[in-house]
Structure 1
Amino acid sequence: MTAMTTASAWDVLEGVNLPDGYRVEITDGRIIMTPQGENQWEVILSASTQIKKQLSGKGRILSDVMIDFPSTLFGYAPDMAVIAPGAERNSRRRFEWHDVEAVLEVVSPSSENNDYVKKVRAYAECGIPVYVVIDPAEGVSTVHNAPSRTGVYREAERVPFGNDLFLPLGDRTLVLETGDFPVEPPTPGAAAG
């Protein structure tokens, strides 16, 4: 078991009863609670079912589960996290950032800046090999690869819904069919882009 040498952003929530039905994360030291939308849930259900089947016991997938990152300002519970085979929980009973092979986040209007900007930087700095942003409003996913400790991914590919997503995880590649991912209807009164 790996020993943690730094405090976790999650420590501030120790002993707090969090409301059911809300996703809780910490960004820039702020606690953010958001309800999960129907389209977001449908994407998570579809993708996690596909991933679990392909992992065949070699690793695991978690959804909205706290991961310990090396920061007291950022505590993320990714929509989906693929955990490496053989990874063990730390003394807090959580997996750590270095156990994560891929993160998939489903964008909602309230999480757009976090998913497209802050999490790209944080996940790249931590060396998360694959980061996927799934955007039902745009009907597109962006697969980020080749993280740099400077907070950028050197490769990014936009994949429209309906096309397969390829997630390279070391010696294996997961394939996600996106044909059943729901596309959000345009917001009434919003200009078409």
Structure 2
Amino acid sequence: MTSPAEPPGNGVRSYRDLRDDVIRIRENVPGKLEISNGVIVHDPAAPNGLHELTAARISRRLEKVMPEGLLAHTGTAPDVEDVLQGVLRHPDVTVIAEADMAADGPLDPRALIAAIEVVSRSNPGNDWVGKIRDYPLLGVPVYAIFDLRTGSGAVLSDIRPTPSGPRYAMRKDFVYGEDVTIAEWTIPTGGLPRYS
């Protein structure tokens, strides 16, 4: 669900105002708050056990095959932010070098190796539409989606310019049980949970 922000008298709110609102209300609002396309995006359901278990398993499987010095981070902080694009996102799994993670404050999206999302049951369009638009705009080279509703997903890569902005030119779909390659590393998808 995308919740439009309350505009001031001229109908336009600045990104900084939206970001201040997200920071101010984040601890008191259940679910996930992000900013995209001039609005606060609210996924009202707090991540459930299956969602978190999927993110943890993906993270562990990646860290087993990635070289030392890289992380497949899950957790509540930090956000990925591009002030000029007006986008604040928080991937379920962030693949990044440890050195780039050591920065104070939000992560520079251009430092990400990959962003991985586990599709929310309450707001699947956020992962399948909004983030497919935002992550190439931010310069994130690889975006992987795991959908617990269908037991399938996709890995998007190869950012190309288009008249409507940067878009991923390559998409590789997969079903649970197949191996999937995210950036340079291949992991199994067997044993990942599904929503009932």
Q: TM-score, normalised by structure 1?
A: 0.78
Which residue of 2 is the match for residue 107 of structure 1? 119
Does the 8 Å contact 2:117/2:127 carry over to 1?
yes
Q: Is this contact kept in 1: 2:60–2:72, CA < 8 A?
A: no
Q: Deviations over 1:119-146 (max 9, x none)?
A: 1111011221110111011110100010
Alpha-carbon contact 1:133-1:141 (below 8 Å) kept: yes
Question: What does residue range 38-77 of structure 1 map to in structure 2 within 5 Å?
Answer: 38-63=49-74, 64-65=76-77, 66-71=79-84, 73-77=86-90
- Taking only aligned residues, the RMSD between alpha carbons, in angstroms, comes to 2.6
Corresponding residue for 1:119? 131
Give the conservation status (yes or no) of the 8 Å contact 2:92–2:118.
yes
1:32 aligns with 2:45: no
Using the TM superposition, give the Cα deviation of residue 14 of structure 1 relative to its aligned residue in structure 2, in angstroms: 4.2
- Confirm or deny: 8 A CA contact 1:162 1:180 kept in the other structure: yes
Aligned mates of 1:47, 1:134 — CA distance in 2: 9
Task: Give the Å deviation of 1:20.
Answer: 8.8
Instruction: Report if the CA contact (8 A) 1:27-1:75 is conserved.
Output: yes
Task: Summarize the Cα distance change of 1:31–1:119 in structure 2 as closer, same or farther, 3 Å threshold.
Answer: closer
Q: In the TM superposition, what whole-angstrom CA distance separates every residue of 1:17-61 from its partner, at most 9, and x where no partner exists? A: 614974332234215253002221111110011122333432222
The share of aligned pairs that are identical, in percent, is 20
Count how many residue pairs are aligned between Structure 1 and Structure 2: 175
Gaps of 5+ in 1: 1-5, 186-193
Equivalent-residue separation in structure 1 for 2:153 and 2:112 (angstroms): 19
Match of 1:190 in 2: none
Distance 2:53 2:101 in 1: 29
